[in-house]
Amino acid sequence: PSAMADHATQTSTAKTLKVIMANQSKALVAPRRKLSAPGVAEVAVVGVADQLKGQVAMAFVIAKDTSALGDAAAQLALEGEIMKRVDQTLGAVARPSRVRFVTALPKTRSGKLLRRAIQAVCESRDPGDLTTIEDPSALQQIKDFFPKG
């Protein structure tokens, strides 16, 4: 295969993954309607650059009962449950590479998720203009998962 064909395949795959992740995001934003994963209050899913796969889904979850996630084993169990639910509902291709637990998601004052800012933080990029963010500490929680160094 030529370099041009490889590039076309990679571009096509990236577009397909973005469509899948966009659909996954819509499905996960309202877990009661689509995924109804027990223990999940709210989810944000973003596509993050990956050297091997090009782009992978990463989920940030607000648990209904944060006190139940006090230890790593409980977090790992809920992460596995969420991934299993995504596999059953949307297929293995839509499974997030990681599920991270947070207490708040970065949103605008009108309640829209700041996926662009979440994605930028995950990829160690500048999140850009955040003048409309409701709670800056929500984005800081996500930054804490990705220490610089």
pLDDT of 117-144, one tens digit each? Answer: 999 999 999 999 999 999 999 999 999 9
Q: What is the distance between the alpha carbons of residues 122 and 80, in angstroms, rounded to a whole number?
A: 21
Nearest to 95 by CA among 139, 51, 11, 37: 37
Average pLDDT score, the chain: 79
* Predicted structure pTM score: 0.73
Q: Does position 106 have pLDDT exceeding 90, yes or no? A: yes
CA-wise closest residue to 100 among 113, 118, 87, 114: 118
Higher per-residue pLDDT: 36 or 87: 87
Looking at per-residue pLDDT, the higher value among 115 and 23 belongs to 115
Model pLDDT for residues 64-101, shown as the tens digit of each residue: 888 877 888 988 998 999 999 988 888 888 889 999 99
Handedness of CA 26, 32, 36, 41 (dihedral sign): positive
Residue 108 vs residues 58, 100, 101, 126: alpha-carbon distances, Å: 20, 21, 20, 17
Q: Quickly list DSSP for 3-23.
A: HHHHHHHHHHHHHHHHHHHHH
Q: 37-46, 65-74, 86-95, 103-112: which has the highest mean pLDDT?
A: 103-112
Quick one: pLDDT at residue 24? 47
Three-state secondary-structure class, residue 69: helix
